[in-house]
């Protein structure tokens, strides 16, 4: 019991003793809060203007494809330039982009929503590897599991809170108010990152005469060769991609599930808010509870990912047979527990084992693979719902079967490496 209490206290202690991490965490809090306002408002706007599953899939593709296309180059930027400055600039650019969402005010301008969403996520593609690669420069290695678990709890808590508040704001104040609030959160987040002293550097290379397109491409190839020559690390970098091949389509289907199958008092936006809140509860508390149970060792991280795949699959299969909204929320929570564990513990493995000079490119590769499989899963869900005429339960079942196959593949890998020593981290 004392060990569990110590781990729970470690989250607050890290925030208290490390002001640089605390500022990054506060930036994460406000930015994530706005993100869920944005998604709910965008989904509601698409549903009102079109209502087709393909149109909703296009919204998610507009969020995913820029991440895939930009991630390799974003990784080079994160390894060559000041990661702190990258985060500040991209936050401010995202604020301006989201403010422009206000121009999408009638059906003939729906194309602008897709364009602006894509532009927003171009900047997100640059921000994400910089943020993930920057974290080890701000916290000690012994605190990486704590920092990542707290980051997951933050994302999930803001999902739960933001989804509920965003659902209420969108339902009663309108989508315009939600977009304004989201834009303001990016400005506040940039201010918090700017408070991190410049001495807490995040740059690993000087950007001088070698800052050419050719040099950048060579650096991307170097990162890929590094992973290709280390199959175990390559599998770790593909863990999230395997999970997103399953949960990507589920994200799309949650919208018609809320709007058409289980509207709350006739309001699908409120139902969607509760569904996102359930995801937040699962992804936030799942990693914390499992960490308190298993600990922080290399073998524990592998075991936690294994449990995560099983929980994700079980939760999605539960959605296929859900008779009511309460069942949906319970299954979604289980699914969230699984996805949260996959996300957190695979990130810790990479942060511990990847050398700093390559960390940005490796996280960019991980993010690109994640968005590619998520896009494929999203397209399948929209196509199956609109063109094939499959019922929601049938599509959820197909996702559950895919989850079972991927979980089985990971289990075989886990059985082979669980008794081996951890790969040696390089300088």
Tokens of 306: 């294994």
Q: What digits encode the pLDDT tens for the residues 254-265?
A: 878 887 778 876
Assessment of whether the complete model's pTM goes beyond 0.75: no
What per-residue confidence (pLDDT) applies to 422? 64
Q: What digits encode the pLDDT tens for the residues 170-226?
A: 767 777 888 888 888 899 999 999 888 764 444 444 444 444 455 555 666 777 788
Q: Is the per-residue pLDDT at 410 higher than 90? A: yes
50 pLDDT tier (thresholds 50, 70, 90):
low
Helix (H) or strand (E) holding 45: helix 19-49
Q: 112 burial class (0-12, 13-18, 19+ CB within 10 angstroms)? A: middle
| Residue 268 vs residues 115, 273, 337: alpha-carbon distances, Å | 25, 9, 24
Mean pLDDT of 115-122: 89
Tokens of 105: 């005010």
For 330, residues 6+ apart whose C-beta sits below 8 A from its C-beta are: 278, 318
Q: What digits encode the pLDDT tens for the residues 229-249?
A: 888 888 998 999 999 888 888
Structural domains in the chain plus CATH codes = 2-198+212-417 (1.20.1250.20)
Most distant CA pair in the chain, distance:
62
């Amino acid at each position: 019991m004392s060990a569990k209490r110590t781990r729970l206290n470690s989250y607050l202690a890290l925030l208290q003793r490390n002001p640089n991490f605390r500022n990054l965490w506060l930036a994460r809090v406000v930015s994530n809060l706005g993100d869920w306002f944005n998604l709910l408002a965008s989904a509601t706007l698409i549903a009102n203007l079109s209502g087709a599953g393909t149109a909703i899939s296009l919204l998610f593709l507009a969020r995913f494809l820029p991440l895939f296309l930009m991630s390799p180059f974003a990784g080079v930027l994160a390894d060559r330039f000041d990661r702190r400055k990258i985060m500040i600039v991209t936050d401010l650019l995202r604020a301006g982009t989201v403010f422009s969402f206000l121009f999408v005010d009638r059906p003939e301008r729906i194309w602008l929503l897709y364009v602006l969403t894509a532009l927003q996520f171009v900047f997100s593609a640059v921000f994400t590897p910089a943020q993930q690669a920057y974290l080890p420069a701000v916290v000690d290695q012994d605190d990486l599991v704590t920092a990542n678990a707290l980051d997951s709890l933050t994302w999930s808590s803001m999902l739960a809170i933001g989804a509920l508040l965003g659902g209420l704001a969108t339902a009663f104040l309108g989508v315009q108010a939600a977009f304004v609030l989201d834009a303001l959160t990016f400005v506040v987040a940039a201010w918090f990152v700017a408070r991190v002293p410049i001495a807490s550097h995040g740059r690993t290379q000087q950007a001088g005469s070698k800052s050419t397109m050719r040099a950048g491409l060579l650096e991307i190839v170097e990162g890929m060769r590094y992973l290709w020559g280390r199959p175990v690390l390559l599998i770790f970098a593909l863990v999230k991609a395997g999970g997103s091949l399953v949960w990507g389509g589920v994200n799309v289907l949650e919208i018609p599930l809320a709007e058409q199958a289980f509207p709350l008092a006739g309001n699908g936006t409120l139902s969607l808010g509760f569904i996102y809140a359930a995801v937040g509860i699962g992804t936030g508390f799942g990693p914390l509870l499992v960490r308190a149970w298993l600990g922080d060792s290399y073998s524990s991280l592998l075991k936690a990912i294994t449990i995560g795949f099983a929980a994700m699959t079980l939760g999605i299969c539960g959605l296929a047979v859900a008779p009511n909204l309460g069942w949906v929320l319970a299954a979604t929570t289980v699914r969230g527990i699984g996805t949260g564990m996959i996300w957190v513990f695979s990130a810790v493995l990479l942060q511990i084992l990847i050398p700093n000079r390559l960390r940005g490119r490796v996280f960019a590769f991980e993010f690109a693979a994640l968005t590619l499989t998520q896009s494929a899963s999203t397209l399948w869900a929209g196509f199956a719902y609109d063109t094939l005429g499959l019922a929601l339960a049938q599509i959820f079942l197909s996702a559950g079967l895919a989850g079972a196959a991927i979980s089985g593949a990971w289990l075989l890998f886990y059985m082979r490496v669980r008794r081996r020593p951890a790969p040696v981290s390089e300088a």
